[in-house]
Amino acid sequence: MTNVGFSYLDELNDIQRQAATCLDGPVMVIAGPGSGKTRVLTYRIAHLINMGVSPGNILALTFTNKAAREMKDRIERVVGSKAQRVWAGTFHALFARILRVEAHKIGYPNDFSIYDTDDTKSVISEIIGQMNLDKKVYAPGIVRSRISSAKSNLITPKAYIANEELMAYDKMARRPLIHLIYEKYVARCQRAGAMDFDDLLLLMFRLLYQNPDQVREKYQNQFKYLLVDEFQDTNYLQYQTLKLLTVYPGSPNNMCIVGDDAQSIYSFRGATIENILQFENDFPELNTFKLEQNYRSTQFIVEAANEVINNNKRQIQKKIWTDRIEGNKIKLIKAVSETEEGKRVADTIIEQKNRYNLHNKDIAILYRTNGQSRVFEEQLRKYNILYKVYGGLSFYTRKEVKDLVAYLRLTINDKDDEALKRIINYPRRGIGDSTVDNIAQLAEDNDMSMWEVLTKIDFNSRSRKNIGEFVQMVMAFKTKAAKSNAYEIADFIARQSGIIELLKADKSIEGLGRLENITSILDGIKEFVEDDELEAGEEVEKDKSLSSFLQSISLMTDADVKEENPDTVTLMSVHSAKGLEFKSVFVVGLEENLFPSYMALTESNQVDEERRLFYVAITRAEEFLCLTYANSRYQYGNMRYNDPSRFLE
């Protein structure tokens, strides 16, 4: 294919260009760290559009909203505003968008609520309570992760009971009734018209699987080209759903996957490296391109990374190289204690800032577990070095924000029991806990939502008046929502519900902070309404409804929140650092039992994953890489003495 008129292709090296212009049939791009995979992906989409493919026929799936936004911006620079019509977004966001149109076909309302982790735990906790089970044994967090893992592997409650291995594991762990909790949890979510994050994937699969003629064929015809970024992070369920869209009689199998098996680090979330290792078995006519030139890091860093990953047995062979020959040698810091480790890292940061003119934002400290951040925070504070810890309390998990969002959720979907329980007596309106428990029990006994109980069952005279006023208020919100945009109704609810009045009355610093958070979310809704950028697949105008806004925030991650002060040293776990790069990186706590984690030392495939995690950590560095370990540190309240990590060898 010639390049005439496609000057953007001149920005690619030979192998990148081949990957971007091989448009038809299955394509696998193995992209080493810093090898320009985002550029290949975006230019490939731009090239599809320039070769006459309609943007609405392209589905590009990513793992973060940020990656999807960057992709769209880059495509737009090449092909103009047509880029906005490409279906680009995360699996969860795009599947939620399709389910908003089709959910009624599988027995859910199209205006379903999306439950976050807290909502899920709350529902599970309530079920455990109703079953009179011991919450120490059936800890809601553990039960949630068992259910999540089942869903990721396409295991329904029925299939769970039939799976001897799962049932035996639960019995051994003294939790033989998890299958029953799972069954009740699914029924409860369906009754509440709610989906959790795993459901957005599972129910998308069910929708396509159960409706082959109507729905599946419609989307097979619509999405003629599929592209998947970070394919090594997909789980079994995601891949099976992609196959439903791609594999059918007469299909051209136009699926392009981009990823790196050496950066597969999310097995704890259900991701399976098998998807990328076995991809060729599913698509024998596959074209494979390996991006092996690293544009990010210097030769010392690249060679160290190759040395590390060569120890893994199962991998797609590649040899990363760079032409950045100059560079600083890798530095190793051996400290007596974790406090000394923190101090020496802070000293080195000061030295790098003075000697090499680095800014705070050029520097990252990466650790294996979030608990390690404390020592570094203390030392950075002593030196007045500004820093930001990722993985802290994100904006949308703050209580007052969740309270207002619960009002908005209930207005859209009155079956949402979790939202109703949160706000029925907030601000206080004389509906006590025992009344709420009574309503929940009536709902359970009559297989109704709590809202139906409020509107259909008569209560004793003391509660009747307060419940009646609450119902009237929510009805007024619903009426207004039908004819208002998201901002108008949210502002109305914040005032009429009494939330703003209540927070204004609290003159403490914390109270002012809470009021600012409410103002901030209202500002965010206003921005959402005034921003005319189209969402994936929207052709004419943006949906500015409250329902559309709630979907956009329920799928947000830490990476999507705006920076307050961009010039800060970054502290984060290695898992959070994937996809990022910094001029200077400190990988800390490199000791046996910490990195690699003691939990991984029993199985070789787990040690391989820890090694891939270390590979990801060191390849975040562009120019400076410093590895540190301490001879002793406190772990779980005890002083531990660990050997240096095997990875240092």
Positions annotated as catalytic residues are 37-38, 229-230, 263, 620
Q: How far apart are CA 605 and CA 611, in angstroms?
A: 10
- Token pair for 116: 């976050």
Supply the DSSP symbol for 144: H
Quick check: 405 and 517 in contact, CB under 8 A? no
Q: Nearest Cα to 93, choosing from 57, 58, 121, 68?
A: 68
CA atoms within 13 A on the CB side of 404: 35
Quick check: 410 and 474 in contact, CB under 8 A? yes
Amino acid at residue number 97: R
Contacts of 562 (CB under 8 A, 6+ apart): none
Q: Nearest Cα to 219, choosing from 234, 230, 204, 203?
A: 204
Backbone torsions φ then ψ of 195, nearest 5 degrees: -125, 140
Quick check: 381 and 602 in contact, CB under 8 A? no
CA distances from 241 to 209, 329, 442, 519 (A): 9, 46, 38, 40
Supply the DSSP symbol for 593: B
Segment (H or E) for 200: helix 197-210
- Token pair for 155: 């295991």
- Token pair for 219: 């989307």
Between the CA atoms of 174, 180, 181 and 183, what dihedral angle is there, to the nearest 10 degrees? 150
Q: How far apart are CA 23 and CA 73, in angstroms?
A: 21
* Helix, coil or strand: residue 332: strand
Q: Residue for token digits 């030979």?
A: 14
Quick check: 610 and 575 in contact, CB under 8 A? no
Q: How many CB atoms lie within 10 A of CB 367?
A: 24
CA distances from 313 to 32, 123, 303, 308 (A): 17, 43, 18, 12
Q: How far apart are CA 573 and CA 373, in angstroms?
A: 9
CA atoms within 13 A on the CB side of 331: 19
Supply the DSSP symbol for 32: -
Q: Residue for token digits 């003159």?
A: 507
Segment (H or E) for 93: helix 91-102
One DSSP character per residue, 343-381 reads: HHHHHHHHHHHHHH---GGGEEEEESSGGGHHHHHHHHH
CA 334 to chain CA mean position, Å = 35
